[in-house]
Amino acid sequence: MNTLEVIKKRYSYRGSYKSTPVPREDLKKILEAGLAAPSGCNKQTTSLIGLDDPQLVKSVSNIVKKNGFGGDGAPAGICVLTQKIPAWEDNYYYIQDYSAAIENMLLAITALGYASCWIEGQVTCSAETQNEIAKLLNIPADYIVVGFLPVGVPESEGKRPEYKKFEQRAWFNGFGL
C-alpha cells in the first residue's frame, strides 16, 4: 500500500485483538514514526512510552477502561506524553505536536498491518487516570499523559465511520466553490 492508500485505510478500531505479540522491532518503527512528526518551532514536546510487557499493557488498558474504552486485550500499546513548553513567547503548540505524532503512529500501525484507536478523552478527562498511569510508568511530574494507543492484530475487520462528502468539507479557490 502506498501512503495515500494507508491514509484512507486507517480507522479507529474498537474490536478485540489477537494475542499475537507485536515484535519490539515493529513497535520501535511505530514510535520512530511518531517522533518524526513536526513540532512548533521544533520544540519536540512529545515523548512516547512503548508497551510490550503484556501485564503492563493490561494495567494501562484497565486504568483507561474505567472511563469507557481502553483498547482491551491489545498485546501492545503506546502512552503519549507531552511537555507544556512554549514554542515562542507565550504560544503553545504541544496539542498540535502530539496530534501529528499520533496520526503518524496510526498510519505506521496501519501500514504494518496492525490496528489501533486514538484514545485521548478517556485519559485526559480525569486527572486521577493520568496520575495512575504516570505512577505505574514512573513518569515525572513535568510530563503529562495525554493519550493511549492500543496496538495489535485485529481479531475482526473493522470499518471507517461515515464521512461527509468531499464537497461538504473541501472546495477550490473559495469557500463553498
Q: Which amino acid, 143?
A: Y
Which of 79, 44, 49 has the alpha carbon at shortest distance from 61?
79
Long-range pairs of 110-113 with CB within 8 A, sequence gap ≥ 24: 110/6, 110/9, 110/10, 111/1, 111/6, 112/26, 112/29, 112/30, 113/153
Residues of this chain, 11-30, that bind a copy of itself according to CB under 8 A: 11-12, 24, 27-29
Residues of this chain, 133-162, that bind a copy of itself according to CB under 8 A: 137-140, 143, 161-162
Q: Quick check: 87 and 43 in contact, CB under 8 A?
A: yes
Residue in the structure block whose three cell numbers are 494507508: 6
> Shortest approach of a copy of itself to residue 122 CB, angstroms?
11
> Shortest approach of a copy of itself to residue 156 CB, angstroms?
19
**Site residue total, a copy of itself (CB under 8 A):** 73
110 or 129: whose CB is closer to a copy of itself? 110
Q: Quick check: 53 and 117 in contact, CB under 8 A?
A: no
* Contact call for residue 10 and a copy of itself (CB under 8 A): yes
Residues of this chain, 75-114, that bind a copy of itself according to CB under 8 A: 81, 87-88, 91, 93, 95-96, 99-100, 102-104, 106-108, 110-111
* Contact call for residue 163 and a copy of itself (CB under 8 A): yes
Cα angle for residues 7, 5, 158 (degrees, 5° grid)? 70
| Pattern 29-68, a copy of itself, x by CB under 8 A | x-xxxxxxxx-x-x-x-xxxxxxxx--x------------
